[in-house]
Chains A and B, each alone.
Chain A
């Protein structure tokens, strides 16, 4: 059997993402990375919590935040998490087209989320005069939420690139781990968002 044949089996193994050594290594390495990301976000959360009352005479979190937009954003991101679960379900069943469709839906939901976040920041900056330089609260807020937004953008570019690059190749044991890892990243973005809407927005208005 040639290398090509091994990567393109007639019947997909049970866990295509971990069927090759490269896949196994990617899997472990990526979870290691996620452990590190947890700590990175924790330092941003800690900074935000420590500085959130230092508003330098500018708007406070109670005056600034509205919950309607945040609720919609939360629902969008949570739903996109489920759609990427669907994508991985079809990946394991070796249904490439269905996987691409669900990943496409995930990307659309993620783009809408990102659009709403940009709109939110725009409103704060233009109408409320609340910027990165307004106060320590402003700096900590934009760093934490913006860093999460940056992760969303990176995740979207990642998934779009994978979808485009493999559109004609179809699914095989070479790219199955790549799709799986990208979906893990997407779920992790939602994990961070759960703490952002709880700690920053909900606890910011009560």
Chain B
């Protein structure tokens, strides 16, 4: 019995430690997201060329969203296959929706 409780405790400690490690990663993710945001705003304020800034802004936004989904919303964890299907399905339709509405007013 004593041995049994012991093994439960070590397992708990192990999981607790793992969660703490993950929390550290989350804070690093957060710092990176803050940095991306600051980069995006300073680029716009600095008044560089429009065609140069816009693609970078979009890439920064997409990377931030990936961070948010995979780290903050835990999509990097096991058991997120269906959520991934749903989100990627959503993004695919979202892309087509925006494309359609933009092409409509192109000319």
Contacts and interface: CB of A to CB of B under 8 A. Distances in A.
A34 B86 contact: yes
B34 A78 contact: yes
Contacts of B68: 81, 187, 190-191, 194
Contact of A89 (B19, B64, B101): B19
Question: Which size bracket describes the interface of A in this complex?
Answer: 35 or more
Interface of B: 8, 12, 15-16, 19, 22-23, 26-27, 30, 33-34, 37, 40-41, 44-45, 47, 50, 53-54, 57-58, 60-61, 64-65, 68-69, 72-73, 79, 82-83, 86-87, 89-91, 93-95, 97-102, 104-105
Query: Closest 6 A-B residue pairs measured CB to CB?
Result: A46-B101, A42-B94, A35-B90, A38-B90, A35-B86, A31-B83
Contact of A31 (B30, B47, B53, B86): B86
A28 B69 CA distance: 15
A81 B87 contact: no
A81 B83 contact: no
- A-side interface mostly: helix
Interface stretch (A124-132, A167-175, A197-205): A197-205
Given A85-B26, A89-B19, 5 more contacts: A31-B83, A39-B97, A82-B72, A194-B68, A202-B40
